[in-house]
Amino acid sequence: MSKPRTSMLRTLFLIVVSFTSMLVVTPAWADWALNLTKGVTPISHQVYDLHMRILWIMVVVAIVVFATMLWSIIHHRKDKGAVAAKFHHSTALELLWTAIPIAILVVIAIPATKTLIAMEKTADADITIKITGYQWKWEYNYMGEDLTFFSVLAADSRAVVDKTSDAKPEDIDNYLLDVDNPVVLPINTKIRILTTAADVIHAWWVPALGWKRDAIPGFINDNWTYIEEPGIYRGQCAELCGKDHGYMPIVVKAVSKAEYQTWLVETKQKIAEASSGADREWTLDELMARGEGVYKTNCAACHQANGEGIPGVFPALVASPIATGAVEDHINIVMNGKAGTAMAAYGAQLNDIDIAAIITYERNAWGNKVGDLVQPMTIQATR
Amino acid sequence: MSEAAVHDDHHDHKPTGIGRWLFSTNHKDIGTMYLLFSLLMFFVGGAMAIVIRAELFQPGLQFVNPQFFNSMTTMHALVMIFGAVMPAGVGLANWMIPVMIGAPDMALPRMNNMSFWILPFGFTLLLSTFFMDGGAPAGGWTMYPPLVLQTGNAFPFLIFTVHILGISSIMGAINIIATVFNMRAPGMTFMRLPLFVWTWIITAFLLIAALPVFAGAVTMLLTDQYFGTSFFDAAGGGDPVMFQHLFWFFGHPEVYILILPAFGIVSQIIPTFSRKRLFGYTSMVYATVAIAFLSFFVWAHHMFTVGMPLAGELFFMYATMTIAIPTGVKIFNWVATMWRGSMTFETPMLFSIAFIVLFSVGGFSGVMMSITPVDFQYHDTYFIVAHFHYVLVTGAVFALFAAAYYWLPKWTGHMYDEGLGKLHFWTSAVFVNILFFPQHFLGLAGMPRRIPDYAVQFADWNMVSSLGGFAFGLSQLIFVVVVFKCIRGGDKVTDQVWEGARGLEWTLSSPPPFHSFTVPPKVTEESAHG
């Protein structure tokens, strides 16, 4: 009996050693991060201090309890001739170890209450940003600035996920933590952040700001932040929101107030340029070229880059009744979505050119050769 | 009920063939079926965990697509909670409560049969969803709307499964309460009950109070989906957060439903192998009652980030912190039981000691998470994944292993293979920490839970965790070998089995007769609980 067991153990040992050595030689991943970030806001510093204080209290309690146990295990064993004592209760002891935890908890509760109260003081903000979660992207609305844009997973990460590129995750800078349009915020400014959602519940979380908050459809949560250091802070959606929950990162770019003002002007200009030309005739080639990009950003997560969908979960567009049928139905579903499914209403999200380009692309890509093209003006007319 | 036609008082008369199991009204046979069923489900859920850890071994998508990954996390939780841990607890209750209180059987034997046999149907329904259009449920075991309403054809099956499992558990709970309240042997007063029985009465009341709320909430999901109601749809005047309140009003008591029987098991085993009576029996009972009572006032700590009013956040923070007090009392009492005992370290004792240490680790991270402002960082990260696996795997599951090793000789009449048992313990105890401890670091470093792929800075600890996971999974095969070896044969054991064991179950033969305590025993203070 002992022989096969030793050989089994040896095999197990070899497996562990070989895997461990693999792990040691793996390049570029040497991160081994252990602890919470201190963050870059007054609140995140308080949260970090609370975290460390409670952690150390717990470590001390653990040492006391486990050391007592260990002492007992070493000394009070039968093979050392220990004879069991007869005691089986002690009111004094039991009161003591009820009272000590209460005292510890009070010591923790006082600073925790203070921090919590500070976190809820959302009044007197200088600017307000409304963040809306969508499956699977974020919309940032700079309230009072007439500036709204979407932020989705960066194209280089997307290509790895969709397997349309041969790159490995470690080849990409900030794999899964980069976006096309970061949300730019000024430093040393009290910023009120409203979160809500358009479809399912999401949660907006940037660890460096010190909190996360759910984005709930039909409700608005308010929070605030005050970033003290310029920099780029990354985060992710933290509430399961469907298939691409892992693929809707957040990038906050904190800049000086002056840079922020310049950025506001430039970004508004860029957005205006992107939607100009909606009133002219577009050629098939123009729409196809634009459509491919817009499709990849907005549609490929479900319907896949090759238009084949995921059988049983997300319908294929290749030779589908919608993409090759009556154009009115196609426009309708893209504009208004489909209730009870993950298909969103893109009419509210994209400009006329982008919607026209998507529909044209879907009707003429991957062997779908309907041949018709949808003009931005047609979309405008349906609004 | 043709089987009931012939009644036989002979102690060892056993029905034969498949009918013995299908129509069984015997608490021991039903208990055995519960335990074997939960072992099977433990491996079904474990296989899903292996898929999850394999996918997370490296960044990038290697084996499954994100949708299937979400099905894996969802189904792993449902199968482990409702298929493995709960039925194992009910199985132990069935087997042990009558022989611990000196009763001939459970009070409601036919209902007992039904509460077991609807379980396999429930799980067939649930697992069949893998082959349906739209795949298995992928919205998380918490079934939050509106996401869960995007489930495909599996949706009504998910709801119906929850109803079936709920009915099964409620029938089991009623049976346990009826048994303990009515069928205790003369002299077995409430304050002489073994702690395993005490923890199970309290668990049974939690089940009866919590499960109907859950059943109601999922029924509201069903009507939202098919009958045009808007309970959880803001567009129709409803509130998606209300579902979370209802769910966790069930869900928090549910975690105590999983862990209280484990407390009971450990309270049986520690005194046996310390050869010393349980320290602070009375305070153990009161602490369990206090935990169960408080469990109805802390639910919203699972959802601090939904945006509650400040007063609500403070209330749920303080209420949650107070749970640490009775839980601490229990830990201290176990340590005090070991103190100045005469200890030996057979497999049940090893698993129980590991339970105390590792459950405490889960308790420490629990106290950290009760602090609302810090929980805003921890929430929905791998930190919480580490926390609840410490309390449920090294907590509940380790206690169930301890129970199995402790009572297997009594059930089968054979001693299990102690060498293999110890091998199972040491491999499990080492690898489970390699599996779950690094997940604390991942969560603190910012990795959200329920993601199929991750940024490369999380790669190192994920690889360590996955290796621990594979090794922990393999180690569980040893347990299966031990169990089946023990059922088939082994050294004969005495009635007493363990030198320090106390309680009525050790006065019966090993294995006990098919019908035991047909004449009730007399219980005195001396022969009562451990």
3-class SS at A129?
A: strand
| Known catalytic membership, residue B252 | yes
The pLDDT-based confidence of A18 (bands split at 50, 70, 90) is low
Compute the nearest-CA separation of B50 from chain A (Å).
Answer: 16
Contact B467 A19 (CB under 8 A): yes
In this prediction the ipTM stands at 0.91
* Cα(B235)–Cα(B118) distance, integer angstroms: 38
* Cα(B364)–Cα(A61) distance, integer angstroms: 9
| List B27, B29, B55, B141, catalytic entry | B141
Average pLDDT, chain B: 94
A186 located within any domain: yes
> What element of type H or E holds B439?
helix B418-445
Interface test with B, best of A9, A25, A97 (most B CBs within 10 A): A97
Residue of B98, B281, B287 whose CA lies nearest to B192: B281
| Known catalytic membership, residue B389 | no
Contact B147 A170 (CB under 8 A): no
The pLDDT-based confidence of B341 (bands split at 50, 70, 90) is very high
Mean pLDDT value of segment B226-242 = 94
Kindly list the distances between the CA atom of residue B297 and the CA atoms of A214, B291, B312, B321, B323, in Å, as whole numbers in the listed order: 22, 10, 11, 11, 10
The domain defined by B25-193+494-524 folds into Cytochrome C Oxidase; Chain A (1.20.210)
* Cα(B324)–Cα(A107) distance, integer angstroms: 14
Q: Show the DSSP H helices in chain A as ranges.
A: 2-25, 42-75, 91-119, 155-161, 257-274, 284-298, 300-303, 327-336, 352-364, 376-382
Structure tokens at B83: 């298929």
| Known catalytic membership, residue B365 | no
Q: Does pLDDT of A333 surpass 50?
A: yes
Judge if A48 and A181 occupy the same domain: no
| Known catalytic membership, residue B105 | yes
Structure tokens at A25: 């030689």
Judge if A267 and A170 occupy the same domain: yes
Contact B368 A177 (CB under 8 A): no
A19 located within any domain: no
- Neighboring chain B residues of A217 at a CB cutoff of 8 Å: 146, 234-235, 240
Are the C-beta atoms of B447 and B458 separated by less than 8 Å?
A: yes
Radius of gyration over every alpha carbon of chain B, rounded to an integer in angstroms = 23
pLDDT in tens, A205-225: 999 999 999 999 999 999 999
Compute the nearest-CA separation of A271 from chain B (Å).
Answer: 30
Any chain B CB within 8 A of the CB of A3?
Answer: no
Contact B377 A36 (CB under 8 A): yes
Q: Does pLDDT of B250 surpass 50?
A: yes
Residue of A38, A58, A41 whose CA lies nearest to A49: A38
Q: Does pLDDT of B288 surpass 80?
A: yes
The pLDDT-based confidence of A19 (bands split at 50, 70, 90) is low
Residue A32: what pLDDT? 83
Q: Does pLDDT of B509 surpass 70?
A: yes
| Known catalytic membership, residue B379 | no
| List B27, B184, B192, B302, catalytic entry | B302
Residue A26: what pLDDT? 47
| Known catalytic membership, residue B406 | no
A368 located within any domain: yes
Structure tokens at A30: 């040497």
Judge if A263 and A313 occupy the same domain: no
Contact A210 B376 (CB under 8 A): yes
pLDDT in tens, A88-98: 888 999 999 99
Q: What is the largest CA-CA distance in chain A?
A: 97
Q: Does pLDDT of B514 surpass 90?
A: yes
Mean pLDDT value of segment A291-295 = 87
Contact A61 B454 (CB under 8 A): no
Kindly list the distances between the CA atom of residue B290 and the CA atoms of A91, B199, B247, B270, in Å, as whole numbers in the listed order: 18, 12, 22, 22
Residue A323: what pLDDT? 86
DSSP A269-295: HHHHHHTTTTTS---HHHHHHHHHHHH
**Residue of A68, A160, A247 with shortest CB distance to B60:** A160
Place of tokens 């919470």: A36
* Cα(B85)–Cα(B77) distance, integer angstroms: 11
- Neighboring chain A residues of B376 at a CB cutoff of 8 Å: 47, 119, 210-213
Mean pLDDT value of segment B331-344 = 95
Compute the nearest-CA separation of B279 from chain A (Å).
Answer: 4
The number of folded domains in chain A is 3
Range of the domain at A108: 42-74+87-119
Nearest CA in chain B to A221: B307
Q: Does pLDDT of B2 surpass 60?
A: no
Q: Does pLDDT of A295 surpass 70?
A: yes
* Cα(A129)–Cα(A184) distance, integer angstroms: 10
Nearest CA in chain A to B331: A65
Judge if A138 and A239 occupy the same domain: yes
**Residue of B150, B307, B371 with shortest CB distance to A213:** B307
A328 located within any domain: yes
A56 located within any domain: yes
Mean pLDDT value of segment B240-257 = 96
Q: Does pLDDT of B51 surpass 70?
A: yes
Which has more confidence, A300 or B360? B360
Judge if A263 and A135 occupy the same domain: yes
Where exactly are the structural domains of chain B?
25-193+494-524
A323 located within any domain: yes
Judge if A114 and A148 occupy the same domain: no
Lowest-confidence region among A2-6, B26-30, B145-149, B409-413? A2-6
Residue A242 is part of a domain; what is its CATH number?
A: 2.60.40.420
- Neighboring chain B residues of A88 at a CB cutoff of 8 Å: 276-281
Q: Does pLDDT of A309 surpass 90?
A: no
Lowest-confidence region among A335-344, B185-194, B280-289, B349-358? A335-344
Q: Does pLDDT of A380 surpass 90?
A: no
Residue of B56, B52, B49, B51 whose CA lies nearest to B455: B56
Q: Does pLDDT of B291 surpass 70?
A: yes
Which has more confidence, B461 or A27? B461
Average pLDDT, chain A: 88
